[in-house]
Amino acid sequence: MIKRLIFSSLVILLVSSCNQKEMAQQTNSDISSQDVFPTPQLNLEQANNLSLLPLHCIDKEYPNKMGHVTASPEDQKRPQETHPVFYGCFDWHSAVHGYWSSVTLIKQFPELSTKAELLEKIQYNLTTENIQTEIDYLNTTHNKTFERTYGWAWLLKLQQELDTWDDPVGKELALILQPLSNIIVERYQEYLPKLNYAIRVGEHSNTAFGMVFIWDYAVHSKNLQLQEIISEKALQFYKNDSDCPLSWEPSGYDFLSPCLEEIDIMRRILSADDFHEWLARFLPGIENGDLQLAVGEVSDRTDGKLVHIDGLNLSRAWVLYGLSKQYPRYESLIDIADEHMQFTLPNLVADDYEGGHWLGSFAIYALQQAHND
């Protein structure tokens, strides 16, 4: 039933946003037409159905991928006992996704039909006592780097979302989460200066992705030290990069684009002139709107790794939306972002739990970037 509701919602999303512009007619000549893909928009009905994804998994303990180091038999505890806040949605970082998605939708749509139920689940789990248990876990000898840096980045994104929620519940939850966020900031500030080489993969450990979300939190929280650390390392890692091999992407399990993630951090830290110059070297032709980027296709959505490609399409879209919103000279790239979105949104209901436990957050964030001014 949940899948049918979400499917109906996303079909409406595509239909309502697709008052298709007239397509150029194909002839027997070599002239081919370019499809136009309008930018999707999120409305209340769609938000109601997308909210079912975190509602379904935020307290769903199993199946669960713990991903931690055990030092003794006593460490073999059930997920909810080890992580009493972030135990659902298959793994820790996806649980954080679920909280972020819930808060984001509630903030954007106060009339959300699932609001009361989502808040009940969040407030039941997100308590001072439970956050202390999460902190105690991160302070164990073998798990100080747990979820570095992907889960850290999403945790700070959640903190930022709560901080900016002008509501008594949001303010209370923000205060409860803050001690855990403070530890994440401390750990990141210790870690990043020691990282000698950027991690340029399309999965969780991608250095540029972590920098992007944590930079946004640093700006939000006015943490100048954190901004300086990120800026310094981003310049060290990426300033001299050129001719990024975009044609090598994607790798089979990518849900992030290594090339585009670099763009996402560099547009934040460079001045406008320096950024445009850097980007022209990094992806030659992009300054003229030339970007060859075919959507990624998933062969089997019951495979938790192969379904990553759906996430890649959504994360590519949010980078291109963000770039074009910041610098309108790149607005032609919106068509590529729209194509990735229109291709991928209907797939959110076709992947079973393997993608459903996290892809909704990617879709919501991409839609958010599409309409941020």
Q: What is the pLDDT of residue 346?
A: 87
Q: Give dist(CA 188, CA 109) in Å, integer.
A: 33
Q: Give me the pLDDT at residue 355, please.
A: 75
* Ramachandran quadrant class, 222 (left: phi over 0; alpha: psi -120 to 50; beta: rest): left
What is the per-residue pLDDT across 218-266, written as a single tens digit (0 to 9) for each?
A: 999 999 999 999 999 999 999 999 999 999 999 999 999 999 999 999 9
CA–CA distance, 291 with 23 (Å, rounded to integer): 21
What pLDDT is recorded for position 77?
Answer: 94
Q: How far is the C-alpha of 211 from the C-alpha of 233, rounded, in Å?
A: 9
| Integer Cα distance of 333 and 310 in angstroms | 19
pLDDT at 36: 67
Residue 352, classified by CB atoms within 10 Å of its CB into exposed (0-12), middle (13-18) or buried (19+), is middle
What pLDDT does residue 30 have? 35
Helices 224-238 and 168-191 cross at an angle (nearest 10°) of 50
Structure tokens at 332: 């032609």
On average, the pLDDT of the chain sits at 90
Q: Name the pTM for this structure.
A: 0.91
Name the token pair of 349. 């209901």
Query: pLDDT by residue (tens digit) across 79-116?
Result: 999 999 999 999 999 999 999 999 999 999 999 999 99
